[in-house]
Structure 1
Amino acid sequence: MCGIIACRTIQPAVEYLCTGLRRLEYRGYDSVGVALQTATAEVAHLRTVERIGALDELVRGWSGAPLNGVGIGHTRWATHGLVSEENAHPHADCNRRIFVAHNGIILNADQLRDELTRSGHRIATAVDSEVLSHLIEDALSEHRDLFKAVQTGLTRVQGTWAIAVLERGTGRIVVASNGSPLLVAHSAHGVFAASDIAAIVDWTDEFQVLGDGDVVELVDGGQWVRAEADSVPLISRRCSWQGRDADLNGYSDFMAKEINEQPAAACRVIDDLGTSIDSGELWTDRGLGTFDRLKIIGCGTSMNAGLVIGNVVRRLGRIPVTCTIASEAADDIPETGQLTLAISQSGETADVLQALTSDAIGGAPLVALTNNQHSSLARRADAVLNCDAGPEIGVAATKTFVCQVIAGAALMISGLSATGRIDRSAAARLTDDLRRLPEKLAAALNVAQCRVPPLIEELSDCAGFIFIAKGSGLPYAAEGALKLKELTYRWAEHYPAGELKHGPLALIGAGTPVVVVDNGDTRLRANMAEIAARGGQLLTIGSADSAIDVASDPSAAWGPLEATVPLQVLARTLALSLGHDVDKPRNLAKSVTVQ
């Protein structure tokens, strides 16, 4: 949640900051702000509760001294305090000498606020982040050096943080991280820090990641203090993404773009992994061995992808699988022979990272499935698989879900082949089936774009939706319901079709929309008849007899993946008809870095 960018550049910093903040809006868009040094060493402090376009207007309206190449910026997803200009970052200290942009959560903020108030500080907001500027102000009066003051001030803080601190007068910028992602990069344009490489990829593709407890001054050759004396040497990492990958490129919204990118993204994943799947090398090259049971940990869409992957392992390998929502993992018990698969699109999901510290993992090998191979999750895992979806800006996940399913299924097929659970010829047939998925997704996209829009008018007044499926179709029903509620703000619930008579049938009356994800299970017909008898409005998606026939293969180990596309198109099209922003649904943000 929340996005941070800071820079010291040759050209005016504001151009870099506004571009970077626009790229970071997926992390939060309740408010946005910057603190910019001027040619007279003062600070222009500009904030708004509107989107980045409103900040552009504030900058254009700035009538003070010219802005130079030093500044910090922040886009917010509120966790403490109402959405207001006063609560927007960056936050200042009493004397407006220190400006702080923060991502994370300060657990002892109330205690620190009381202590600071008693010592004479004027705390202007209820935002936990504001205490950081006052702590650094206190420390600066003692040390008279910003770098040392940041180090000292943070010793009193409990919680997580990625911060950028700007000092008025000197124009120094110091950044620090603990449990929240932050990277620094040097280029011909200048020196940058950001929550995500996507914010600065136009100017550099090489970066270094701050470890927990690190403090860095943002200047060429600046001081970098590692939290641990025995920390591994700093590693420069490269990003294969380009700036245009995170642009609309002619699409009306990012969700439309990312839905349309799914066939190509699926093809890229399979091409990258294909030659090593059936041989077992995809598994053994990551140092993985045999396992007797699988535990999958994730949240939201990643958990739905995990359910699909778990079905692959059960169906093909006859291996017990447990799927646990990350925020509930603390009470799980590790089992003998367990392998843990942790799934997170960003690799920074706080609940997933917290679950890794619980007894649920024990000493089991940990595999990370993520779209960010440089993330905190990737660094903590024994083995990493990149789902390689490319940047995804729309908050509601689309192509990352499809790529997680494909990459996860490929890894597990390889593992089952490497450990003798399936033979090499069976793994080769499954790999061939994977290779056909991009073409099937492209066909499903064409069908969805033709069949879904005519249905929207009769659905737009419906207050709630039910999604049902059986067996391998159930995770897709869950994902379809999640997409609909995320984007339309209408109630949407999913159930196993066999559960209808055990309660949910009471919800169905004349006109109630029921979306059926059809994986070819013949028992669905009886459930559909029950719904029709009560006046429910059926919409079937999946195999041959469906209203939206995407020709899904009933025998596929990963279920009706092709049904994902019309489910996404349904949610997006209905949301647009209701006047909603499909890229930035209310109350939600991508990369959930706080619990």
Structure 2
Amino acid sequence: MACRTTAGAADYLVAGLTMLEYRGYDSAGLAVSAADGSTAVFRTTQRVNALHDLAKAWGGPSLGGIGIGHTRWATHGGVRVANAHPHQDCLRRLSVVHNGIIDNAPHLRAELQQLGHVFQSDVDSEVICHLVEDALATTGDLLEAVNRTVQQLTGSWAIVVLDGETRRMVAAAHRSPLLVAHSDRGMFLASDVSAIADWVDEFHILDDGDVVEVSDELVWLRDGVAVDAPDPIASPTQASGRRLDAGDHMASEIDEQPEAAARVLNDIGSLIANGALWRGLGLPRFDRLRVVACGTSLNAGQVIGAGLSRLGGLAHSVVVASEAAGSVIEPGTLTLAISQSGETADVLRAIDESPIGTPVLALVNNAHSTLARKVGSVLVCPAGPEVGVAATKTFVCQVLMGAGLVISALVASGRMSQTTARALVDDLAQTPERLAAAADSARLALPGVIEDVRNANGFIFLGRGAAVPYAAEGALKLKELTYRWAEAYPAGELKHGPLALVEDGTPVVVVDDADPRLVGNIAEVSARGGRILTIGQPGSRIEVPLSKHSPCGPLEAVVPLQLLALNLAADLGFDVDKPRNLAKSVTVD
């Protein structure tokens, strides 16, 4: 993030970085102009709010209104102050913040060291400072120096360079999000508009290859040629700034799931059974679906794809985005790219590498994200801001939006009658009430469950059929929040290897949607001393009526699975909103 204001840059930067902390919180830092022409640098391996105390304790010249800041998710180099951004050149004149990965950093570092540059960190980003330093010595112009520098880089970057001597500021972007905005408060740059939404009414997005000088006016270069700034985009409402006052974000976001589900259904409910939702996307008829996603979005894609096959008899495949390279796309295939942030680097790369002409539909929670701008057709989930790093309500919204898409597409193509579709939509309409009931049931049962599993080192999650993706999502949530190993399997796979993991007391969480085959699988676990924790039908440890005929499968099961992970992590003393080693928006691949 960066700002050019009349005063108080540190305050703006800390406030904005707090909103961006979900992108990484291994370390954070600021570089702020000072009254004597120097640049004050503050860095910490604590959370962003520690920067406020560091700036407040500053005993040097008064701090000005120009500065840059960063909150880091470590890719290169360990978590230590020397590796925190901003980084500086040898003369301490230039300060740089960088999102992304510089793939050719080792080669560039070696060349720069041979030229006499001294590095202070282990991170790839520091090469940018020294490259700009060399180019500036030759050109005498910061804009041209940054433009020359990015031509030497390979990888991904959103860069802001601050020249402490001239107070000039230049930004550049390639395969990493960056936007710039102007208001009566000043100029602002950020990787996500939520960081600056309280201060601006509109913003411009940098495209790949753009280099922009941020002063009273924007000087915009595209591929080295001066162009007009792109058309501005209206900033979202300012509610996101107040969202941080909620305290325990993940718990609040789990509670918001019935409301979020109702919002999705209110938006698209009338467009499903008549096929209007699908027809409005302007996409060709398809005969098979290819889902590309990562993490929780991958599990949502599993639900959506299985629903299509179950309801319409159409083939589907689910591709882990980071492994999508080289996958064969058959004629008549629609690619559904799912990303909560719309900035997931693995998904973006997979779309870039898809054959030209392949129809792609994006399912995102951010209408202005890179993924949404990259493809021709977009469905936006109205989940609202999600601050907790572990996805909850965005998963529910993705599944519901995907189910509506599937039904609408089947109706529009004549593969499903409107009568059948209306019955399915009526079932979906019960989702908010079912989610709320599932939360109530889980909260009653969980204290005893937590007591039983507190000391367990690992968990197995099982399901059958439509319940399998939910078992996978439950295992993922437990890993993310409790740092215990957790593996999910189709229950029928137990006897093909995973049963070897079961010993006396091993917790085995079963999403029990009354599939008759589960009885034998549960018996196999019990015979080996496993601790059975069923979620579902009457008699389960956590009784939650699970949908039998919903196009989403047993969606209600996700709530007790989320709450199990949340409550166990809290009991163990872990930060449920910011689990270790993770970031919500994964912008590197």
TM-score bin, normalised by smaller chain? over 0.9
Indicate whether 1:8 and 2:26 are aligned.
no
Q: From 298, 301, 322, give the equivalent of 2:317.
A: 322
* Unmatched runs of 5 consecutive residues or more in structure 1: none
Give the alignment partner of residue 296 of structure 2, picking from 290, 293, 301: 301
| Equivalent of 1:354 in 349, 357, 377 | 349
Residue of 186, 189, 200 corresponding to 1:190: 186
In structure 1, the residue matched to 2:546 is: 552
Corresponding position: 1:333 with 2:328: yes
Secondary structure of residue in 2 paired with 1:510: coil
**How far apart are the structure 1 equivalents of 2:574 and 2:506?**
22
Match of 2:212 among 207, 212, 216: 216
Find the aligned partners of 2:351 and 2:240 in 1 and give their Cα distance: 35
2-structure distance, mates of 1:246, 1:229: 40
For residues 86-105 of structure 1, the aligned pairs below 5 Å read: 86-105=82-101
1:581/1:340 Cα in 2 relative to 1: closer, same or farther (>3 Å)? same
Q: For the residues of structure 1 that align with 2:542 and 2:232, how far apart are their CA atoms?
A: 48
Given the alignment, which residue of 231, 238, 242 partners 2:238?
A: 242
Please give the alpha-carbon distance, in whole angstroms, between the structure 2 residues aligned to 1:513 and 1:231: 61
Counterpart for residue 583 of structure 1: 577
Could you say which residue in structure 2 is the equivalent of 1:519?
Answer: 513
- CA shift in 2, pair 1:264/1:490, >3 Å: same
Measured after TM superposition, the shift of residue 358 of structure 1 is 2.5
Paired residue type of 1:473: A
Distance 1:368 1:400 in 2: 14
User: Which residue of 199, 202, 206 maps to 1:203?
Assistant: 199
User: For the structure 1 residues 66 and 112, does the alpha-carbon distance in structure 2 shift closer, same or farther, using more than 3 Å as the test?
Assistant: same
Corresponding position of 2:273: 278
Residues 1:248 and 1:550: Cα distance change in structure 2 (over 3 Å)? farther
CA displacement at 1:240 relative to structure 2: 3.3
Is the Cα–Cα contact under 8 Å of residues 106 and 159 in structure 1 kept in the other structure?
Answer: yes
Alpha-carbon contact 1:72-1:101 (below 8 Å) kept:
yes
Q: Is it true that 1:405 corresponds to 2:399 in the alignment?
A: yes
- Which one of the candidate residues 436, 439, 452 is aligned to 1:442? 436
1:132/1:153 contact within 8 Å kept? yes
Q: By how many angstroms is 1:437 displaced?
A: 0.8
**1:150 equivalent in structure 2:** 146
The CA deviation at 1:311 is 1.0
Contact 2:218/2:229, CA 8 A, preserved across alignment: no
Match in the other structure for 1:83:
79
Instruction: Tell me the residue number matched to 1:66.
Output: 62
**Deviations, residues 206-262 of structure 1 (Å, cap 9, x unaligned):** 2111100111122232201123879997232234343446634444x2111111111
Deviations 1:38-65, CA, capped at 9 Å, x for gaps: 1222110110111122211111110111
Which of 481, 487, 491 is the matching residue for 2:481?
Answer: 487
Number of equivalent positions: 589
Measure, in 1, the Cα distance between the counterparts of 2:225 and 2:281: 28
Distance 1:484 1:313 in 2: 28
| Aligned ranges 1:157-168 → 2 under 5 Å | 157-168=153-164
Give the superposition deviation at 1:266.
Answer: 1.1
SS in 2 for 1:585: coil
The answer for the alignment partner of 2:134 in structure 1 is: 138
TM-aligned CA distance change 1:245 to 1:283, over 3 Å:
farther
CA drift at 1:550: 1.9
1:370-401 deviation digits (Å, cap 9, x = unpaired): 11111111112121001121111111111111
Q: Does 1:423 align with 2:417?
A: yes
Amino acid at match of 1:112: L
TM superposition shift of 1:307: 0.1
Per the TM alignment, residue 536 of structure 1 is displaced from its structure 2 partner at its CA by 1.3
For the residues of structure 2 that align with 1:512 and 1:278, how far apart are their CA atoms?
45
3-state SS in 1 of match to 2:160: strand
Secondary structure of the 2:325 match is: helix
> Within the alignment, does 1:22 sit opposite 2:18 as a pair?
yes
The aligned counterpart of 2:27 is 31
2:561 maps to which of 556, 559, 567:
567
Which of the numbers 104, 109, 120 marks the counterpart of 2:105?
A: 109
1:262 aligns with 2:228: no
Q: Distance in 2 between matches of 1:358 and 1:525?
A: 44
Matched residue of 1:476: which SS? helix
**Shift of the alpha carbon at 1:169?**
2.1
Correspondence for 1:475: 469
C-alpha contact (below 8 Å) 1:543/1:553 kept by paired residues: no
Kept in 2, the 8 Å contact 1:198–1:243? The answer is no
Indicate if the aligned counterparts of 1:241 and 1:391 stay in contact, CA closer than 8 A: no
Alpha-carbon distance in 1 for matches of 2:351, 2:292 = 9
Mapped partners of 2:51, 2:284: distance in 1 = 53
C-alpha change, 1:215 and 1:131, in structure 2 (3 Å) is same
Partner SS state of residue 516, structure 1: strand
User: Contact 1:246 / 1:393 at 8 angstroms: preserved in 2?
Assistant: no
Work out the CA distance in 1 between the residues paired with 2:206 and 2:514. Answer: 49
Report the Cα distance in structure 2 between the residues aligned to 1:131 and 1:244, rounded to whole angstroms.
Answer: 35
Cα distance in 2 for residues equivalent to 1:446 and 1:486: 23
- Describe the SS at the equivalent of 2:101: strand
Higher alpha-carbon deviation: 538-547 or 498-507? 538-547
Moved more, 7-16 or 72-81: 7-16
**Structure 2: which amino acid aligns with 1:276?**
L
The answer to whether the 8 Å contact 1:246/1:391 transfers is: no
Q: Share of identical aligned residues, percent?
A: 56
38, 41, 47: which one aligns with 1:45: 41
Code of the aligned partner of 2:174: N
Match for residue 540 of structure 1?
Answer: 534
Normalized against structure 2, the TM-score is what? 0.97
TM-score normalised by structure 1 residue count = 0.96
8 A Cα contact 2:162 2:169, kept in partner: yes
Residue 592 of structure 1 is matched in structure 2 by: 586
Which residue number corresponds to residue 460 of structure 2? Answer: 466
Residue 459 of structure 2 contacts residue 487 of structure 2 at CA under 8 Å; is this kept in 1?
A: yes
Instruction: Find the aligned partners of 2:144 and 2:458 in 1 and give their Cα distance.
Output: 55
1:510-565, Cα deviation, whole Å (9 max, x unpaired): 21111001122111112112222222111111234422122111121211101111
* 1:357 Cα deviation after fit: 2.6
Q: Distance in 1 between matches of 2:369 and 2:157?
A: 15
